[in-house]
Structure 1
């Protein structure tokens, strides 16, 4: 007597496998694009950082640590990276101090005014970063710039302040460019905050400072931390704003890598600078992200 072969699995047990295959099939084009556009160029850049270079011999495909040793031993590169992170931290602090109250006011507006001012906040994102930075260069404009004239007319300063080719100018321009990211992050966190909680606190006798310290700040802090991660990452890796406002003599890591690639043609050293900046940002963002997740767990548990 013959025994019939078992029928293929069907029903609920086969559904997860079919769904998994469909998900992989849908994600495969995006995964291939990610590998081709991001992973492979990054791997080639890492490999390039271990090659040798000479003015007359060009790039030699050998495995050496000369570029990394030069970065580690020369204080010039340490100053470049310290300036990069210093400018990024200051720009992040400014956006947090100004962007959080701005997002809170935006959240309390009526629908019509909220839409208008949201468009105003997002307006800089609709303009090229180069155009925005050139606008700041015109406003700074040396001793006779509009910014210095306004500060002197209000009596805030007695002599013109240098903004072009200074870290101060870079921080101001970067803070303006990155402000929408902070405002949107804090505004998204404020969507979880019920305005009636503030009214209840007022009815129970809490003062404005107590409401801000005990109710508003704990709720918006995850948004501030998330926005700080975005602003810091974009500021530390920015190129156009430091290149225009800082100029040739006030370099950061991004402009340093650019000069090594296109001016001195020392591609291996430029690749080492770029890889080191990427690794530093990944470590900082990963640690900050862990802090944000822990903060979310404490607030919303």
Structure 2
């Protein structure tokens, strides 16, 4: 009877096959076709040719124009990630110390941007950051600036809008790590004579670090590949990898070059994510070893 009820070795594969086929169909196949397209030859008069070449990758890797675009995208993603850490970690700590019903109310407020379309959010920020928008009006009335600050069509405006979009992801990641933290650990540090800042820096924050790193991975990957916000807020002045890919596909009609840019962005994201995962693994090993 036990042999009849015992699962067969193929049972896990059979049960997971629908999700696996869906994953292959909507992710791996398009990625594979995009990678294959990136090697096609493109002719301005005849379009995409059936022959293959490395010219698209050589052009991207040797042209300073694309170097600037990738560097700008990386710096933008790093800036957004840093701001999300600076804003998201304190928000999560304050949220964890709130009592019901305020905790639930403020959690909805923090996660609210995820409930609205990214295009709607970005259009809202374009109104707020305009030369006659609420932000510039407030700065001028407070005497901070004499003239309107150019937020639109600038990297500053793009970083501000992307930070608003991605802070909830940081809060969620840190919140999950905070739920595993024993509050008595912080009280123990305080009882042994540590100040509040020392207790947070040496006791609380190291245990939140895996959540911070996980949130940073998510935010960096999403910010580096963001399209709608840089396109609307940055316009033609702020060219990033996603908008450059869009231009090659729909403006220049050079699909192989656009596919090569997308593949290189994917490779860069994977390298960064794998590197951060290694950091997480080392951190977990240190925690478990201690």
The answer (yes or no) to whether the contact 1:182–1:228 under 8 Å persists in 2 is yes
Computing the radius of gyration from Cα coordinates, the structure with the larger value is 1
Bigger mean CA deviation after superposition, 28-37 or 177-186: 28-37
Deviations 1:174-226 (A, max 9, x none): 00000000011111111111222222322332211111111111111111100
For residues 150 and 195 of structure 1, what CA distance do their matches in structure 2 show? 40
Bigger mean CA deviation after superposition, 207-216 or 237-246: 207-216
For residues 251 and 162 of structure 2, what CA distance do their matches in structure 1 show? 25
2:14 to 16, 25, 39: 25
User: Which residue of 2 is the match for residue 147 of structure 1?
Assistant: 135
Unaligned runs of 5+ in 1: 1-9
For residues 230 and 194 of structure 1, what CA distance do their matches in structure 2 show? 25
For residues 284 and 29 of structure 2, what CA distance do their matches in structure 1 show? 35
1:124 to 92, 102, 113: 113
Bigger mean CA deviation after superposition, 164-173 or 65-74: 65-74
For residues 112 and 298 of structure 1, what CA distance do their matches in structure 2 show? 37
User: Which residue of 2 is the match for residue 42 of structure 1?
Assistant: 31
1:269 to 257, 263, 267: 257
Q: Please report how far the alpha carbon of residue 33 of structure 1 lies from its aligned counterpart in structure 2 after TM superposition.
A: 1.4
1:173 to 148, 161, 169: 161
RMSD: 1.6
The answer to whether residue 102 in structure 2 is matched with residue 113 in structure 1 is: yes
User: Which residue of 1 is the match for residue 221 of structure 2?
Assistant: 233
Unaligned runs of 5+ in 2: none
1:156 to 123, 140, 144: 144
For residues 4 and 193 of structure 2, what CA distance do their matches in structure 1 show? 59
User: Which residue of 2 is the match for residue 256 of structure 1?
Assistant: 244
TM-score, with structure 2 as normaliser: 0.95
For residues 161 and 288 of structure 2, what CA distance do their matches in structure 1 show? 35
Name the SS of the counterpart of 2:61 in structure 1: helix
TM-score, with structure 1 as normaliser: 0.92
User: Which residue of 1 is the match for residue 61 of structure 2?
Assistant: 72
Q: Please report how far the alpha carbon of residue 56 of structure 1 lies from its aligned counterpart in structure 2 after TM superposition.
A: 1.4
The answer to whether residue 6 in structure 2 is matched with residue 15 in structure 1 is: yes
Matched length: 289
User: Which residue of 2 is the match for residue 84 of structure 1?
Assistant: 73
The answer to whether residue 268 in structure 2 is matched with residue 280 in structure 1 is: yes
Name the SS of the counterpart of 1:111 in structure 2: coil
Bigger mean CA deviation after superposition, 266-275 or 204-213: 204-213
For residues 79 and 243 of structure 1, what CA distance do their matches in structure 2 show? 17
Name the SS of the counterpart of 1:98 in structure 2: helix
